[in-house]
Structures are given as C-alpha cells and as structure tokens.
Structure 1
Amino acid sequence: MPNIAEAKVLIISTHGFEQSELEFPRDQLRAKGAEVHVATLDGKAIKGWEGSDWGREAEADLKIEDANPHDYDALVIPGGQINPDLLRVEEPVLALVRTFHDQGKVVAAVCHAPWVLIEAGIVAGRRMTCYTSIRTDLENAGAKVMDTSVVADNGIVTSRQPDDLKDFVSKIVEEIEEGTHGRKAA
C-alpha cells in the first residue's frame, strides 16, 4: 500500500477557485509529506475567490495539458462557481480526468467541482456529494447524491463545501493509501 508521504498529487484549477478549497488540500497534503503540484490552463499563477471578491494567487507548477497522469497518485479539483465552470469546457481537462479515472487513481472534487466529473462522463451510478446548487446536475448525470461531508465511491472522493475540507483531505489520504481502484472505463 502506498504511503501518503510517498504520494504525488495533482491539483488542477484556473481563476475563480474557492480560496480554501485549493489552499487547504494543497497545504494539508504537503504537511503530510505528499508532493503536490498545481496545474493551470496556461501554467501561470491563478487568482482565487474568497467571500464576495477576488482572493490570493496560487502559484502554478505546470500546464494542465503537460501533466502526465502516470506521475501522480491522485487528482484534486477545487470548487467555487467560476473555476469548475471554466474547466469543464476544456478538452485537456476532461481527458486528464478520464485518464486518472481509467487508471483507477483517486479523483477528488469538492463543492461545484463535480461539474467537471459530470462533463468527463464518470459519475453515473456512483455515490457522491456536492454543493447544494448542483445536486440536480449530479442526479441528472446518474449519480446517487448523498448529503454528507464526504463520500468515497471506489476512489472517487467528493465533498460539499469548505466546512467539509478536513473530512475531504482525510478521505483523499485514505483512498491514496488504499492504492489503485479497479473500475470500468467511462
């Protein structure tokens, strides 16, 4: 079984990510010893959203299209309304999500980020959770939606909102340490 201290995690995001939903997982996973990279659409720093205005920048390590899923144990997608809405129309993002999924690696999405998983076609039949306003979107895509802080279904980890981030990160660690998850391609 892999140990979190030996894991590599990729966070994908663009402008408008919910500040805490990128920073908390990034910083907590790093504190646990994981190597964490942030990939953005252009490989440049991105600006978060905090409260009712723009927040702090997050540095980028690489471009999303340059990320090699074989190099990572898990993929994390922060929410916010803006970030996942912009990501879900980008084919390199969807291809990356599908590859992580098809390789049985952990795919984690919080808040509005399950929109990206819907677009990638990997939610049908799965138990998941999400932010209240996208619950119907997830149900219409075939997911079994639950109202709980975190849900893991065969390595797909979802949470509802910033208040759930401690549970979200704990479940990501647990799923990484379980190793790859056998699943059928979407």
Structure 2
Amino acid sequence: MNIIPALVIGFLFGFILQKIGASNPQKIIDMLRLKDFHLMKTILFAIGLSNLLLFTLLLLGIVDVSHLSIKSSYMGVIVGGGIMGLGWAISGFCPGTGLVALGEGRKDALSFVLGGTIGALLLTLVYEKIKDTVLFFDLGGKMTLAVTNVKGSPALFPAISGIFVAGGIGILFIIIAFILPDKK
C-alpha cells in the first residue's frame, strides 16, 4: 500500500475514534461492563457495514481477492487475545484507541503505548526460544467461514458463498447496533 493513502486512512480512523469517544478509557470500560452501549453500537455497525461493503466489492470484482490474507490459527492467538482483552479491560485502551489518546496528550495512554511497545520488543527477543512451543502449534491452519476464493483457505461451510455469510453477519450486526439502547 502506498504510504500516503495509508496515512490518510489512519488519520481519518483516528479522527473518527476521537469523535465517537473511543479514546476515553472510561467509555471503553463502561462498554465492557455493559453500562454504556454507545461504543458497542458504533463498533457493531462499523463491522457490519464493512462486511457488506468488502464482500460486495469482492463479488463485483472491484477488490481483488488476492489482496486478502487469512492468518493461521494457533494457540498463541488465543493466549495473546486473552492477554490483550485483559489489558483492554484494565486500561480502557486497545492499540488504536491508545494511540489516539496519546495524540490527545493523555498521560495514561503514554504508559499504555510504552507497555505495548515493551511487550512487542520482549516477544521479538524471546521468539526464537518459544517458536517451537505449544503457543505456535497449528490449530487447523487457515480456514474461512464460507467460500471466498482465497487460495489455500478451505471453508467451514463450503456450499455457501462468502457474500451470503458475510452479508448475513453484517446485517445481523447492523440490526443489533440499532436495537441496543445507548445506556443500560
């Protein structure tokens, strides 16, 4: 990807995160505690809409499927996801919102970003020693929910086109976003 479009997209994404309040850790914690659904509604709507747009563009041939990559499943993804989720719940930041909050000048975001950077550095330093452990055992390889034509990626539901599964999930997420109340 060319650096200019990437910077523009990143700036717009950060701007939107800041405008919807996602850079405020208390709003994220309230969402995770199921007290305030505003961010959850926004996230579900964004995921649903992007699902519909991406798979429609794939179906129309506007987006080339070769630009998509499906990552392999392995135990480290589950462990890492758990660690990230715990960090998200404790700090009120995820990587994107932490960077936006840092851009706002929040001091708590500085410690979050430094902690994430140190964690990434530590993983880089110990990777050679842990790469053959259970953390990196394959849990079934690359798989999609439905047929997407991504090479080497079998589908869990091989008789169904990806547009129908992604479209259904997208519509479901959008409906949930509209049904949820703003606050509990």
Alignment TM-score, normalising by the size of structure 1: 0.24
Higher relative CO (Cα under 8 Å, sequence separation at least 6) belongs to 2
Structure number with higher helix proportion: 2
| Bigger share in strand | 1
Question: Which one has the largest radius of gyration?
Answer: 2
TM-score w.r.t. structure 2 length? 0.24
